[in-house]
Amino acid sequence: MIGDMQNWTPNVASIIEHARNIYPKQEVISRMVSGEVHRTNYDEVCIRSRKLASALEKDGYKKGDVLATLALNTYRHLEMYYGISGMGAICHTLNFRLHPEQAVYIINHAEDKIIFVEAPFVPMMEALKDQLSCVEKYIILCDQSEMPETGLKNAISYEEYIESGDEDYEWPAMEDDAACGYAIHRELQETLRVFYILINQIYFILKLR
């Protein structure tokens, strides 16, 4: 017999939904790459996370797909954490300090289908793109008016991409052991170890806090 006391179907996005319900006007403040200080709140972050999730589904991405971010700590990155994992895909945060050979290995090993890229990191991706056959699309974290000229495959600005998303998108129910994040840890002898982050681990960490 299997006990069902913890038989539930959580979603990481319920965290931002909770924040929106309790603290909708709580500010989220970001220092952008331009130096500008950007202000938003949990209400707007939640709605834009839904729009991202909806846009990804409309674009054919689904549960279990690995989607990467090469991004800084801004409101858009926060939206990506919830939008990507909330629709069932796996959020793979890349480290811009990696040696190019390691970056190529990690991206190909994860089979990243999309890379969300900060504009200053576009040249880095352009230098590696011919070695990244798994990547189908690059989403540049900027407004459409700020979009740089680039030869990256199917490149589009983040703001244009989420524009068609549904702000009333409903998050799917997920198994509590579903993967929502992907990380690689470098050992002392340069060996790379892969970790999948599970939904129930996220909730356990929050409970400890």
Alpha carbons 165 and 168: distance in angstroms, whole number: 9
Domain count, the chain: 1
**Does 5 reside within a domain?**
no
Place of tokens 């892969």: 194
Return the pLDDT at 188.
Answer: 42
Q: Supply the CATH number for residue 145's domain.
A: 3.40.50.12780
Q: Which residue has the higher pLDDT, 51 or 12?
A: 51
β-sheet bridge partners, residue 31: 37
**pLDDT exceeds cutoff 60 at 199:** no
Would you say residue 9 lies in a domain?
no
Asked if the structure places residue 59 within a domain, the reply is yes
Q: What's the pLDDT tens digit per position in 163-185?
A: 999 999 999 988 877 788 887 76
Q: Which domain holds residue 139?
A: 14-208
Whether the CB-CB separation of 53 and 86 falls below 8 Å is answered with yes
CB 197 within 8 A of CB 12: no
- Band of pLDDT at residue 192, cut at 50, 70 and 90: low
Instruction: Decide: pTM greater than 0.85.
Output: yes
Whether 4 maps to a domain, the answer reads no
CA diameter of the chain? 60
Flag whether 160 is in a domain: yes
| Assigned domain for 7 exists | no
Domain contains 168:
yes
What's residue 177's pLDDT? Answer: 75
Look at residue 22 and give its three-state secondary structure: helix
pLDDT at site 132: 98
Identify whether 3 is part of a domain: no
46-72: average pLDDT: 97
Using an 8 Å Cβ cutoff, are 154 and 106 in contact?
no
